[in-house]
Structure 1
């Protein structure tokens, strides 16, 4: 995921990086890029801290059912492409307008090597305005982090840079840095090679991975690790890499990571990447989800929740291992599936460790922040910038909360876990909002089309209307909808659930009933 949002207020800005560019991504896929798929990326490059630059090559393995004349990849113009090869032979190419067009008519190949170098784009306001962040730690060591969800992979490597493109066979990262620096990246650390005063770290994963999930962080770190026992029964390596100045906090945050992973597993199912690791690395910016190596920059601001410590940023970014990395969208129109369901996972930590009272306090506080300014689901073929706004988090989470209220715990929680583990929507298979709606309705056997249409696709909210009806009681209705919703009403008899719609329902009550007293739904009252 992206850009962490648990607090209600976010600073929004247009996406622009250190060079004054606007590197948005998504939208309609380029017709040339629609003709092929990327199977695997292999990055081999050196990080040069003194010049804040990188130099190396990227091997892109691809497949196509079409006869390709041109292989079109994305890479920002700030990098210089020095050559492109296939099977050791040079290929003709052009690099303009952040696109590399490689002529492959003369080669029988399924992979190309792209050699490139350049000064890295600097993040202005990471992770919201991403790029490379270069800082010094308190000991004077270089410390580099990368954030790219709003910009895509093209700011650090040649890629088919569209959310529908995931490297199905994973990625290999061979990153060279000066001693004594360490590089934390995706997957497992296969090998470390030393060549004089340089170290090369080879990280690898065979799992499918989205473009902005590919990541690396450089620094001088202290490591703490343990084995995490998954609900699947597997023992999964769990690591935290923190700056040397924070090594006395490493054991504490390792325990926080363990508790958060357990909590997510209870509601979302087994950790998605058992062959790799569960891990965080301390970064010089707030945070971001990166597959198996989440960025953490929340300064160890734990709060007590019941008997355990809670770090809202760590928990949120970890939740994206399920929603964002395992369950991912091919169109930013459906961005809320990443952020809304993950934000709801934050509320579930309150439920699990603080109880119902803490959970509903969180619900009520969030509801006050929702202005219903934009639909949660954006138009088809949206770019990241078009689809990103605060309500994909807040209102997206509230929609999940409302589903819990409508369906009941005995249906809702198994349904949520089933969705997170349905092979039609996980790993190499991506998902959209329509898939989610149809899954929920099929799983529950309930017609929820009206519910989803109004809350996901409009900014309208049902309005409660209550009228006194003689001595018999009160007529209650929901105006602005043409379907019925199960709604709790509180009278002197207690709380009961009724189906309400635009047709008034007579409620026998001495006093005016309270509609939705616990706050399951977004209603105008």
Structure 2
């Protein structure tokens, strides 16, 4: 009875602590977080079709003014329309543009404007509203991690301005429906007006330049593909350009590079890595997803960012990550980190986009894994495997990789190296590189220009793996535990006893390993010993410690004179 009372008290205390933890987590987020991070009713009733962005930055005053026309279709009875624009930027007016023009009433609360729609708007109808705005946009503090607009100068004293807003949100510099779940089906038009001694480079293709009487020029770019908001970019500088063509899986792909003139020679040498990169990623991931918009690298005053069809580059024309190898193996110094990593996002992040930023591992984990694949393309599978294992040193296991949903929250930075290690672990578990390659290509075809969730990715990967990966995803994405393979081997090496510990219940990662000419597939269970009788040849070739080279697990084993099941 005393034990039961203690258990009852312990359970009550645990439930109370859990309830307090949930309340504390809920209290950590505000209504503003919910408005920013959820598919609110004021977002859900309309489908985004196209943005037409027209802006004029004042480089001296570091201000911006402009307009954004939002084309949409009503999916149901219209409510108020939520338009996001981060303070201190101000909305001057919002105008209904379809048919008879009408000034719309809106209420501003923090970073959100709720716009009253015309009474005649019905489900199935298309609409067009233009938001006129101006003010002081947030200046980047430490781009691209703490972004906004970088108001800077190049080494010759010329203006050098660029945007970076992943995580922060595109509404830091232009009004939009600032959530990843809805991308403009008909693309985006971006017109930026700058002094005519400078150039603006944005996403897609340049379709028009307009010379104005006040010695300014508008550079108008068109993106034909759907695009996530944070990819839309403005890059202003005294650029020169050079071009190449690449014959890829879907035909001719334009490669265009915009760099500062003083860096032209270095760029021509460093950007020789682009064609091998495209070839490698098309092999593994499928066709480049934006042939209609081309591929660009544009020099920026910060490290880099995966802006769709307009990859921002600031790695100072050197290999590695600003000259460092993040894996510590030496392989990462054989290629330019920004060219490879940020371009990898064209497939994962830009083609396939997570619905909620809580699932940003889908962007960063697969793209981090593209570094492993490029190393493999250049120097072989053993080099790629060594790079992937070396990069594990960056894993912190500080908190789960998945963030909190519907409040614009991301999880641990482990979404880069740990999610990559998980993907590599799943690949090794499949023990079939061609099938794994077809899986990656399938994902990019199945979810072409679409938004996805972790559950959707897990189900597709499970189908190719041949077993349910639900607990594998749960282990690596929602806990900070590294699963441990515990084993005991008899003195003669013929009896193997093994199990998983430090793992979620029913963790079922399969472990193929080569022993002599045989391939054994271990299927350890959590906290349940299993006994395997080995042949002499299998015992002679068994090396369980090497599993840690390929799988993100801990190996803990010993030899015993006699194996006992207990």
TM-score (norm 2): 0.82
Q: Residues 25 and 162 of structure 1 are in contact (CA less than 8 Å); yes or no, is this contact kept in structure 2?
A: no
CA–CA separation in structure 1 for the residues paired with 2:164 and 2:73: 28
1:112-149 per-position Cα deviation (integer Å, ceiling 9, x unaligned)? 11111112210111111110001111222101010001
2:249 corresponds in structure 1 to 231
1:350 corresponds in structure 2 to 375
Q: Verify: 1:439 aligned to 2:460, yes or no.
A: yes
Relative to structure 1, the CA distance from residue 158 to residue 523 in structure 2 (aligned partners, 3 Å threshold; closer, same or farther) is same
Alignment of 1:416-495 (within 5 A): 416-422=440-446, 425-427=447-449, 429-469=450-490, 471=492, 473-480=494-501, 482=506, 484-489=508-513, 493=516
1:262-300 per-position Cα deviation (integer Å, ceiling 9, x unaligned)? 221111111111111110111111111111001111101
Q: 258, 267, 287: which one pairs with 1:250?
A: 267
CA–CA separation in structure 1 for the residues paired with 2:84 and 2:190: 18
1:40 corresponds in structure 2 to 50
Q: Residues 402 and 412 of structure 2 are in contact (CA less than 8 Å); yes or no, is this contact kept in structure 1?
A: no
Relative to structure 1, the CA distance from residue 268 to residue 24 in structure 2 (aligned partners, 3 Å threshold; closer, same or farther) is farther
Q: Secondary structure at the match of 1:323?
A: coil
Aligned residues: 496
Q: 421, 431, 436: which one pairs with 1:412?
A: 436
Q: Verify: 1:148 aligned to 2:169, yes or no.
A: no
1:359 corresponds in structure 2 to 384
CA–CA separation in structure 1 for the residues paired with 2:224 and 2:118: 30
Q: Secondary structure at the match of 2:452?
A: coil
1:394 corresponds in structure 2 to 417
CA–CA separation in structure 2 for the residues paired with 1:243 and 1:357: 38
Q: Secondary structure at the match of 2:467?
A: coil
2:26 corresponds in structure 1 to none
CA–CA separation in structure 2 for the residues paired with 1:258 and 1:513: 39
Q: 20, 28, 37: which one pairs with 1:27?
A: 37
Relative to structure 1, the CA distance from residue 389 to residue 116 in structure 2 (aligned partners, 3 Å threshold; closer, same or farther) is same
Relative to structure 1, the CA distance from residue 67 to residue 447 in structure 2 (aligned partners, 3 Å threshold; closer, same or farther) is closer
Q: 388, 395, 402: which one pairs with 1:370?
A: 395
How far apart are residue 214 of structure 1 and its match?
0.9
Relative to structure 1, the CA distance from residue 498 to residue 36 in structure 2 (aligned partners, 3 Å threshold; closer, same or farther) is same
Q: Residues 404 and 411 of structure 2 are in contact (CA less than 8 Å); yes or no, is this contact kept in structure 1?
A: no
2:237 corresponds in structure 1 to 219
Q: Residues 429 and 512 of structure 2 are in contact (CA less than 8 Å); yes or no, is this contact kept in structure 1?
A: no
> Unpaired runs of 5+ in structure 1?
1-21
Q: Residues 398 and 412 of structure 2 are in contact (CA less than 8 Å); yes or no, is this contact kept in structure 1?
A: no
Q: 527, 530, 535: which one pairs with 1:504?
A: 530
How far apart are residue 467 of structure 1 and its match?
2.1
Q: 312, 331, 338: which one pairs with 1:313?
A: 338
Relative to structure 1, the CA distance from residue 511 to residue 156 in structure 2 (aligned partners, 3 Å threshold; closer, same or farther) is closer
Q: Secondary structure at the match of 1:387?
A: coil
How far apart are residue 251 of structure 1 and its match?
1.5
1:191-243 per-position Cα deviation (integer Å, ceiling 9, x unaligned)? 111112111111011211111011110000111111121122x1121111111
1:50 corresponds in structure 2 to 60
CA–CA separation in structure 2 for the residues paired with 1:495 and 1:134: 61
Q: 317, 334, 338: which one pairs with 1:300?
A: 317
TM-score (norm 1): 0.88
CA–CA separation in structure 2 for the residues paired with 1:220 and 1:107: 48
The structure whose Rg is larger is 2
RMSD: 2.5
